Chain A
Amino acid sequence: MDTYRKEIVHTLLFFFLYLLVSHTAVWALVFGIDNGNRVLGFPLHYFAAIALAWFGVVGVAIWWNVWADRLDAEITSSQQEVTHAESVPGDSVLAASAKGD
């Protein structure tokens, strides 16, 4: 997968991962709840909801940081991928945009 597609596909994947660990009501609705299954004394679905929306989100955020650093490095070294005839080199675009700010 080229770097550009990777940026889009992985951003969407991380978005869905964040949703999976924090919108846990969906899990309860799909799989049902059983207050008899316990973890640390809590019903499993309650414990999972609280733990995922804390430690799960932290885990995804750390993973995303690692991925974003790697992606940055790939993007920075991606000049060789450029084949389009209209490519514009240099940092002039951001500088021009920032002027408007």
Chain B
Amino acid sequence: MSQTAWQVQNVWFGIGISVLFFGFYYLVAFLAQRFTRTEEDLFLAGRSIGPIVNSLAAASTWMSVATFLGVVALIQQLHMPFVYMWLQLILSVPLLVLFYGALLWRLNVFTSVSFLRIRYGQAVAYLASAWMMLILLMYMIGQYIGIAKVFEVLLGLPYLPSLIVSALVITGYITIGGMKGATYNDAIQMVIMMITFVVPLAAILKAMGATGYWFPPLGYGSMTDVMLQKIPTFFDPKFDPRFYLALFVALTLGILGLPQLAQRVFTSSSLKAARRAVPWFCVWVGMMFSATYAMGFAGVVHFANRGETLSREAADKTTLLLNLAYNPEWVSGFVIVGVLAAGVSTIAGLLIGAASIAAHDIVGMIKPDMPERKKLNWGYVALACTGIISLIVSLNPPAFLITSIFWAFGLSATAVTPMIILGVWSTRINKWGAFGGSILAGALYIVLSPYVFPSLAVGKGLIANLGYAAALITVPTGFVLTILLSLLAELAMRSRASALLRETQDLLERMHGWPTVTRARYNGVLWLLVLCVLWVPVLIWGLQPW
């Protein structure tokens, strides 16, 4: 299949409609800028966002270019196991709010690093900032490159100018609008994504003879027999239980450490608004994910019927190929707008997440008494610089930075999640345990990955590349080290640890909303030791050859 097969022939229509939508995003950003007067406005939209808008914005941040392109391609290649893999990603915001988002909202923090600074002190905050910046950078570079490739492969534009222009345009509107502009733009982009993906999908399913085309996410059941005839093993789980356990360990737990989603929760106008956003988020994400499975399914049936096997490059364009096959060409122009919306909304969340850590947390630690006006100016500088630095790195990215984003999730599960979750639910976790557990387990994850020291990597192929094999060793290590080092430090430094414990007890009980601090809550050691014991079989299983 040649490249022209998935290119939109009317390039000017594609460019024109993209310019039109970006013009609209700029308009929203300029309107939002008029209401940005403080650092809190810039990074948290003045904590003014209601549940519907916030849920749409969070869902939009969570949907990336991969939702339109990569996921559909991977369903073609991996079939049901990839669907299982993707299904659990809906848990991102629900689990984050359940375990700590709502509690941290009460603390009025800007980012999860701000919480770690209050909870453990500056050293742990610097370490967490470093991990999070690395994860955000990996994520952001992938999106910048993805958007440039959209212009290159779908419209036939040259890659490098596409990368530079699109990155500057995106950085520009996010810097101007800050979190308020990004939130309303993200919400609008989520609506665009749903329309440009689901409506053309209905037309595709109708043309393919699916009887339930009017509800695309669940309307393709009538194609099951054709699928089983062509690919009898499509619905089989295929991988062994350890693969599915690794999904939980590396991905479900990894998502909990991602700062950009936590920050969305902190923009809520109230604690209830933060909570109410969760079911709405699940409605939008569930609809988009289910539509993605439908598109993947339709793609498998379409190409199996034609007796074609797609290359990886062509499989990535399945959404476009199906649209070009069954819909008028102008529809593909709108699909491109949807792909771009998915990419830029993700970049918006990442850019603001990284800039908040840089300007609010890192600069805030170095210069704690800065006047509000200066903080705001630093915020704008951080936003613009983050975008430009990401662009510069994207021009010639080091190989390890463009590995799978799932690998970065594994790093988050290893080095960030334990210190946040344990820090919110136990007063016995202290700065020594948090720092030691994070740095040792994080370093181990990097050493065991196939990207840095291939000879030391555990597992091979997809399992190793996605970070699953290493995560089954390093995530248990991260949790166990954080707990044991905390308890050992408490024994070794009784007087210092005792003073810290009292401060932590005050903080945690108030975060959880108790009107009176008793110093008797969240102090248990037994459950921490039970948790360590529960991680041991996972660790042993992870150490077995894959």
Q: Give me the interface of A with B, judged by CB distance under 8 Å.
A: 4, 7-8, 11, 14-15, 18-19, 22-26, 28-29, 33, 35, 38-43, 45-47, 49-51, 53-55, 57-58, 60-62, 64-65, 68-69, 72, 75-76, 78-79, 82, 84, 86-89, 91, 93-94, 97-98, 100-101
CA A90 – CA B497 in complex, angstroms? Answer: 25
CA A69 – CA B271 in complex, angstroms? Answer: 10
Q: Out of A15, A19, A43, A54, name the residue touching B224 (CB < 8 Å).
A: A43
Closest to A28 in B: B237
Asked whether B289 lies within 8 Å of A53 as measured between CB atoms, the reply is yes
Asked whether B88 lies within 8 Å of A22 as measured between CB atoms, the reply is yes
User: Which residues of A sit under 8 angstroms from B519, Cβ to Cβ?
Assistant: 84, 86-88
Shortest CB distance A65–B (Å): 5
Shortest CB distance A74–B (Å): 10
Q: Out of B81, B87, B283, B293, name the residue touching A58 (CB < 8 Å).
A: B283
User: Which residues of B sit under 8 angstroms from A39, Cβ to Cβ?
Assistant: 221
User: Which residues of A sit under 8 angstroms from B223, Cβ to Cβ?
Assistant: 41
* Contact (A97, B98) CB under 8 Å given A45-B235, A57-B286, A78-B514: no
B282 interface residue (CB < 8 Å to A): yes
User: Which residues of A sit under 8 angstroms from B265, Cβ to Cβ?
Assistant: none
Query: What bracket does the count of chain B residues touching chain A fall in?
Result: 35 or more
User: Which residues of A sit under 8 angstroms from B118, Cβ to Cβ?
Assistant: 97, 100-101
B290 interface residue (CB < 8 Å to A): yes
CA A94 – CA B236 in complex, angstroms? Answer: 51
Asked whether B515 lies within 8 Å of A76 as measured between CB atoms, the reply is yes
Shortest CB distance B58–A (Å): 13
Shortest CB distance B128–A (Å): 15
**Selected A-B contacts with CB under 8 Å, 22 pairs:** A11-B99, A15-B99, A18-B94, A19-B248, A22-B88, A23-B244, A35-B224, A38-B221, A40-B221, A43-B224, A46-B83, A49-B84, A51-B218, A53-B90, A54-B282, A54-B286, A61-B281, A62-B279, A64-B275, A65-B276, A93-B510, A98-B107
User: Which residues of B sit under 8 angstroms from A41, Cβ to Cβ?
Assistant: 211-212, 220-224
Asked whether A79 lies within 8 Å of B515 as measured between CB atoms, the reply is yes
* Contact (A4, B521) CB under 8 Å given A50-B87, A61-B279, A76-B513: yes
CA A61 – CA B222 in complex, angstroms? Answer: 31
Asked whether B87 lies within 8 Å of A53 as measured between CB atoms, the reply is yes
Closest to B218 in A: A40
Which 6 A-B residue pairs are closest in the complex by CB-CB distance?
Answer: A41-B221, A54-B286, A53-B87, A84-B518, A61-B279, A25-B84
User: Which residues of A sit under 8 angstroms from B282, Cβ to Cβ?
Assistant: 54, 57-58, 61
Closest to B248 in A: A23
Closest to B119 in A: A97
CA A101 – CA B511 in complex, angstroms? Answer: 14
Shortest CB distance B25–A (Å): 29
Which one of B106, B118, B282, B507 has the highest number of Cβ atoms from chain A below 10 Å of its Cβ? B282
CA A82 – CA B520 in complex, angstroms? Answer: 10
B247 interface residue (CB < 8 Å to A): yes
Binds A, one of B14-22, B109-117, B535-543: B109-117
CA A14 – CA B94 in complex, angstroms? Answer: 10
User: Which residues of B sit under 8 angstroms from A69, Cβ to Cβ?
Assistant: 272, 275
Enumerate B471-499 residues with CB–CB distance to A below 8 Å: none
B80 interface residue (CB < 8 Å to A): yes
CA A82 – CA B514 in complex, angstroms? Answer: 10
Shortest CB distance A90–B (Å): 8
B10 interface residue (CB < 8 Å to A): no
User: Which residues of A sit under 8 angstroms from B107, Cβ to Cβ?
Assistant: 94, 97-98, 101
B384 interface residue (CB < 8 Å to A): no
Asked whether B102 lies within 8 Å of A68 as measured between CB atoms, the reply is yes
Closest to A55 in B: B286
Asked whether A58 lies within 8 Å of B279 as measured between CB atoms, the reply is yes
B228 interface residue (CB < 8 Å to A): yes
Q: Out of B90, B108, B217, B512, name the residue touching A98 (CB < 8 Å).
A: B108
User: Which residues of A sit under 8 angstroms from B236, Cβ to Cβ?
Assistant: 33
B241 interface residue (CB < 8 Å to A): yes
CA A94 – CA B109 in complex, angstroms? Answer: 11
CA A49 – CA B83 in complex, angstroms? Answer: 9
B516 interface residue (CB < 8 Å to A): yes
Shortest CB distance B133–A (Å): 19
Q: Out of B218, B222, B228, name the residue touching A35 (CB < 8 Å).
A: B228
CA A97 – CA B506 in complex, angstroms? Answer: 9
Asked whether B516 lies within 8 Å of A87 as measured between CB atoms, the reply is yes
CA A76 – CA B516 in complex, angstroms? Answer: 9
